[in-house]
Amino acid sequence: MAFEPKEGSGALFKNTRKESENHPDYTGNCVIGGKVMRLAAWIKEGKQGKFMSISIKPDEQKKPTPAPRDDPFDADVPF
């Protein structure tokens, strides 16, 4: 079963298909404002040590699963 983030959350996973230094070290997705966003992160070295540089872009391939509705009147509508 694939990871399905909830509103305001997400996850990063190790990029096992990295072929060059430009490819992210970690990839994943999150949901912000009901939109699925694509996450990418690179491990970098700075003056104060290692850190992650991240990128967040809309994910045009995925749409969030709508939350189930608890409206009892929806079941009575025939269309």
Q: What is the 3-state secondary structure (H, E, C) of the chain?
A: CCCCCCECCEEEEECCCCCCCCCCCEEEEEEECCEEEEEEEEEEEECCEEEEEEEEEECCCCCCCCCCCCCCCHHHCCC
- Residue pLDDT tens, the chain, 79 long: 567 788 999 999 999 999 999 999 999 999 999 999 999 999 999 999 999 999 999 987 765 555 555 655 555 555 5
Domain ranges of the chain: 1-59
* pTM of structure: 0.70
